[in-house]
Amino acid sequence: MEVVVAIIVGVLFAVGIYLILTQDVLRIVLGTSILTHAVHLLLMAMSMLKTGSAPLLGRGKETFVDPLPQALILTSIVINFGITAFFLVLAYRAYQKLDTTDMDRMPSESSRHRGQSR
């Protein structure tokens, strides 16, 4: 299963990066979201999969899956949510303000700067 998961991790990373490199702001936000899923899977796979039961004590089980990646991922999920919400509103406001979701059509700081110097 680990190998399959590793391949899925690769696929998710590739898709996430590809979306981040597009011009559409909304797809960039989606890309970051997919990237997070890839990282979560990677973290899970790192600790080997299904090596025991769920990390809950007092149920008569002796072996557990590694709880540490789960703690990390839990933190990551929440932070990712905050970031996604922020990005989304940013993209939304950018669209309202600039009437485009195309990164290339947004007047960037440097292009304005260049415009002044020339």
Tell which positions 20-79 bind another protein, by CB under 8 A. 20-24, 26-27, 30, 33-34, 37-38, 40-42, 44-58, 64-68, 70-71, 73-75, 77-79
Q: For the CA atoms of the chain, what is the radius of gyration?
A: 20
- Dist CA 109 CA 118 (whole Å): 15
Q: How far is the CB of 98 from another protein (least distance, A)?
A: 9
Burial (CB < 10 A; 0-12, 13-18, 19+), residue 64, is: middle
- Per rule CB under 8 A, is residue 86 in the interface with another protein? yes
Residue nearer to another protein on the CB measure, 5 or 116 = 5
Residue nearer to another protein on the CB measure, 52 or 116 = 52
Angle at alpha carbon of residue 104, lines to 99 and 108, rounded to 5°: 85
- Per rule CB under 8 A, is residue 99 in the interface with another protein? yes
- Per rule CB under 8 A, is residue 14 in the interface with another protein? yes
Taking alpha carbons only, the member of 15, 79, 11 closest to residue 41 is 11
- Per rule CB under 8 A, is residue 17 in the interface with another protein? yes
Total number of residues that touch another protein (CB under 8 A)? 87
Q: Are 16 and 30 in contact (CB under 8 A)?
A: no
Residue nearer to another protein on the CB measure, 56 or 116 = 56
